Amino acid sequence: MHSFDMLLFSMKAATANRSRTILTLIAMTIGVSSVIILISLGDSARRYVVEQFSSLGSNLLIILPGRTETVGGPPPLLGETPRDLTLDDVVALTRSTAIRRIAPIVAGSAPVSVRQLEREMMVIGATAELLEMRHLAMSQGRFLPPGDPTRGTSVCIIGSTGRKELFGSRQALGQWLRIGDRRFKVIGILGQTGMSMGDDMGEVVIIPVASAQALFNTESLFRVLVEASSPDSIDRAREAILTIIRTRHDGEDDVTVISQGAILATFDRIFRALTLSVAGIAAISLVVAGIMIMNIMLVSVSNRRVEIGLLKALGSTHYQIMGLFLTESALLSLTGAAIGFLLSIVSIELAAVFFPEFSLQIAPWSLGFAFAVALTTGIAFGVLPARRAARLEAALALAQR
C-alpha cells in the first residue's frame, strides 16, 4: 500500500466523525499551546531578569552590612550588625588598587514637597560615582558633583515621573524642593531608564550621601556598590574589602560581599529550573491529551470492527492495519499540535504588543519540545488501539451486521 494512499485513507477515517475529530484536536491544541506558552513565559522572565542585572555592570560587588551566617538565637536573614558600615569605611576602601569606583548608598522614604504638593518618595543618598556604576542617564542638568562624600550639599536629582508629579509642566531645573525639613535645589533630571533591579528610577530623589545621612539621622550605609578595576580582579577586590573592613571593625567579619555575577548566575538557575518545572507540568496536559486520543481511538476501533474485519478479508496484513490506525492517531495529534503552534504564537505575539516592556518572545526550543511530546504521545497512545485493531478476529467481526 502506498504511503500516500495510507495517509488519505487515515485522513478520511479521522475526519469521518466530526465531533470526535474536533474534541481530539481541542485536547491536543490546549496541551501543545500550554507547553509552548508556559515555556516561553518562563524563558522571557528569565531573560528579563538577566538583562536587568547585566545592565548594572559585570564587575560589580555589593557590600551589605551584616553577615550571612546566623549568629545564634532566632535565625535572622542577614545576621546581626553590631557595627555600622560607615562613610569612613568607604573612604578607607578607595585606597585599594583592586577597586576602581565605589558608591555608598543610603536609602529611605521621605516626604518630598514643592509648595503645597507633597509626595512620599524614595530618597537615595549617593555620590557622583552612582551615575556610571548604575548606568543612569540624565535628561536635563547634571548629576551630583564629584568631591568629598562626607560633605553634604543641598542639591538633588529627581526622576522623570517625580518631576511630572511635583512640577507638572513647569520648569523643574533650578527650582527648590523640600525633603523632610530640608531644602534642596534640583540640579538634574534622570532620563527614562525604566525599571532597574525592582526600583522604579523614575520615582526617586537622589541627594548627596552625607545629606541623606543627616536627613535620616543615621551614620549607617544601606549598602555600598563597588566596581572592581577589571573583571579579573573581582576576587582580589572582595579580599581587599573583607581585609580592610575586618581591620577597621576590630577583627570582625561583619559585612557580606556579593558579586553581580553570582546573583546573575543564581537568578539564571532559578528561572531555568522554574521554566523546566512549568514545562513539565504543561507536558502532563499533553499526556492527558494523548490518553484522550487513546480512548477515542479505542472507541473508534470497536465501532469499526466490521470495517477492520473487511480490511482483513480484502487482504490487509496485521502491519497494514496497525499502520492505518497509527497514522490516524498521529494525524490527529500532529494537526492538534499545528493548531497549538499557531494559537501559542499568536497569543505570545499579542501579549508582546500589550506588554512590550517584558520583551516576550517564543522560546525556540519550546516548539521542538512541544512537537516531540505531541508526536510521541500521539503515537505511543495510538499503539494500543492499533494493536487491538490488528488483532481483531475477522471472522467474528464480519458475522455482525
Q: Which residues would be at the binding site for another protein (CB under 8 A)?
A: 1-2, 5, 9, 12-13, 16, 306-307, 309-320, 394-395, 398-399, 401
Closest listed residue to residue 50, CA positions, set 351, 42, 352? 42
Q: Residue 309 has which C-alpha cell? A: 474485519
Nearest approach, Cβ of 52 to another protein (angstroms)? 58
Nearer to another protein, 23 or 394 (CB): 394
Nearer to another protein, 104 or 309 (CB): 309
Nearest approach, Cβ of 21 to another protein (angstroms)? 12
Closest listed residue to residue 154, CA positions, set 208, 206, 106? 208
Evaluate whether 150 touches 127 at the Cβ level (below 8 Å): no
Nearest approach, Cβ of 20 to another protein (angstroms)? 13
Nearest approach, Cβ of 391 to another protein (angstroms)? 11
Alpha-carbon span 118 to 189, nearest angstrom = 18
Nearer to another protein, 21 or 193 (CB): 21
Nearer to another protein, 38 or 311 (CB): 311
Closest listed residue to residue 369, CA positions, set 44, 45, 46, 36? 36
Nearest approach, Cβ of 313 to another protein (angstroms)? 5
Alpha-carbon span 25 to 287, nearest angstrom = 14
Evaluate whether 99 touches 59 at the Cβ level (below 8 Å): no
Nearer to another protein, 3 or 171 (CB): 3
Nearer to another protein, 314 or 353 (CB): 314
Evaluate whether 290 touches 381 at the Cβ level (below 8 Å): yes
Nearest approach, Cβ of 292 to another protein (angstroms)? 22
Nearer to another protein, 115 or 391 (CB): 391
Nearest approach, Cβ of 320 to another protein (angstroms)? 7
Evaluate whether 188 touches 181 at the Cβ level (below 8 Å): no
Evaluate whether 382 touches 327 at the Cβ level (below 8 Å): no
Nearest approach, Cβ of 395 to another protein (angstroms)? 4
Evaluate whether 121 touches 110 at the Cβ level (below 8 Å): yes
Closest listed residue to residue 254, CA positions, set 241, 271, 264? 241
Helix (H, G, I), strand (E, B) or coil at 119: strand
Nearer to another protein, 345 or 398 (CB): 398
Question: Could you tell me which residues come within 8 angstroms of residue 4 by beta carbon, excluding any fewer than 6 positions away?
Answer: none
Alpha-carbon span 147 to 129, nearest angstrom = 10
Alpha-carbon span 375 to 19, nearest angstrom = 22
